[in-house]
């Protein structure tokens, strides 16, 4: 397995965002690699590093198992990328009621992730991002800072895939503090996988966004989620960079169907419910007109 795990966590559930500890991923456990960071940088030289992030309300073990399993799916398809699964504390002992407060952890995780990438990934490397749910906020904030910060040497921003994105549907096109227009225009391409049958984004996202929009100076607004409605309010310049795919009605693609189930079934399934790994592989491999299988009748 050509994969590593970067943990930005200090606890199994909740806790603070840390500067990051690196492990080499094996199928059932991880090996400490934080004392070999120069070796990791050499591995990335001239290569593409695909960075994957789980979403909201995933504890350490759940987030790790979902991402490492998804990486295994991509490798079964033929992916040769070096991959980095990022574990971040977008959860709490309080469970789902903590959602309105997790945007701060997502932003802090993005900042710390970008700092780690700048320090430990070679500047000749290309970095692709794959995010799910609130992990897409981490992805897009990190990518936005990559696009804007020209004062430091850093890896090259490659492709971005957003699955069931818990960010505003117009955030790729707006030029505001909580938006990501610079990243959208500078990324090689952005793929957006959405489903109108995503009940979590239909209800919980709008409720959480409404609460956040009341907080002073938050910059948040109560609007629709990208992962349910697709990109809205984008200029032609931004839309030219986006591949937007909406799941066909009746397929029943829900919020949790883009990553492997947790805990694993016995025997474990070899694909996600949404067949998202097939699209991610084709999209990152630059195959012409990659098709999301959920669109097939």
d(CA 250, CA 247): 9
Residue 297 falls within a domain, yes or no?
Answer: no
Q: How confident is the model over 287-294, as a mean pLDDT?
A: 85
Tens of pLDDT, residues 128-158: 999 999 999 999 999 999 998 877 789 999 9
Q: What residues have CB less than 8 Å from 73, skipping those under 6 apart? A: 260, 270, 271, 272, 277
Residue 266 falls within a domain, yes or no?
Answer: yes
pLDDT given at position 27? 82
Cα dihedral 130, 110, 32, 157, rounded to 10, equals 50
More confident residue, 29 or 85: 85
pLDDT given at position 215? 41
Tens of pLDDT, residues 27-67: 888 999 999 999 999 999 999 999 999 999 999 999 999 99
Residue 244 falls within a domain, yes or no?
Answer: yes
Residue 119 falls within a domain, yes or no?
Answer: yes
Domains in the chain: how many in total?
Answer: 1
Q: What residues have CB less than 8 Å from 8, skipping those under 6 apart? A: 17, 18, 19, 20, 86, 87, 88, 89, 109, 112, 113
Residue 295 falls within a domain, yes or no?
Answer: no
**CATH number, domain with residue 226:** 3.40.50.1820
Cα dihedral 221, 223, 228, 231, rounded to 10, equals -80
Cα Rg of the chain, angstroms: 18
* Residues 229 and 249: beta-carbon distance below 8 Å: no
Residue 165 falls within a domain, yes or no?
Answer: yes
pLDDT given at position 152? 79
Residues in the chain: 297
Could you list the residue range(s) of the whole structural domain that residue 232 is in?
3-285
User: In the chain, what's the furthest Cα-to-Cα distance?
Assistant: 50
pLDDT band at 92 (very low <50, low <70, confident <90, very high): low
d(CA 218, CA 106): 14
Residue 291 falls within a domain, yes or no?
Answer: no
Residue 174 falls within a domain, yes or no?
Answer: yes
Q: Report the phi/psi class of residue 4: left, alpha or beta, with left for phi > 0 and alpha for psi in -120 to 50.
A: beta
The β-bridge relationship of strands 17-25 and 3-9 is antiparallel
Tens of pLDDT, residues 153-203: 899 999 999 999 999 999 999 888 779 999 999 999 999 999 999 999 988
pLDDT given at position 102? 57
Mean of per-residue pLDDT scores for the chain: 89
- Distance spanning both ends of the chain, measured CA to CA: 34
């Amino acid at each position: 397995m050509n994969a590593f795990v970067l943990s930005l966590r200090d606890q199994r559930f909740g806790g603070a965002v840390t500067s990051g500890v690196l492990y080499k991923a094996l199928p059932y456990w991880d090996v400490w690699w934080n004392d070999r960071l120069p070796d990791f940088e050499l591995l990335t030289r001239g290569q593409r590093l695909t960075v994957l992030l789980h979403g909201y309300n995933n504890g350490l073990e759940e987030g790790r198992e979902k991402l490492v399993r998804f990486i295994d799916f991509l490798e079964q398809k033929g992916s040769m990328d070096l991959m980095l699964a990022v574990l971040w504390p977008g959860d709490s002992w309080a469970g789902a009621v903590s959602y309105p407060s997790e945007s701060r952890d997502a932003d802090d995780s993005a900042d710390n992730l970008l700092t780690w990438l700048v320090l430990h990934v070679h500047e000749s490397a290309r970095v692709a991002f794959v995010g799910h749910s609130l992990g897409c906020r981490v992805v897009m904030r990190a990518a936005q800072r990559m696009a804007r910060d020209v004062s430091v040497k850093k890896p090259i921003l490659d492709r971005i895939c957003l699955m069931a994105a818990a960010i505003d549907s117009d955030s790729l096109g707006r030029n505001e503090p909580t938006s990501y227009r610079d990243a959208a225009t500078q990324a090689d391409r952005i793929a957006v996988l959405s489903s109108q049958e995503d009940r979590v984004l239909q209800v919980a996202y709008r409720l959480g966004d409404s609460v956040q929009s009341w907080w002073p100076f938050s910059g948040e607004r109560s609007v629709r989620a990208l992962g349910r409605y697709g990109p809205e309010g984008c200029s032609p310049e931004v839309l030219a960079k986006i591949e937007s795919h909406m799941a066909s009605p009746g397929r029943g693609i829900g919020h949790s169907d883009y990553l492997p189930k947790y805990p694993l079934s016995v025997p474990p399934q070899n694909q996600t419910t949404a067949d998202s790994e097939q699209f991610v592989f084709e999209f990152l491999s630059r195959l012409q007109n990659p098709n999301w299988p959920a669109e097939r009748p």
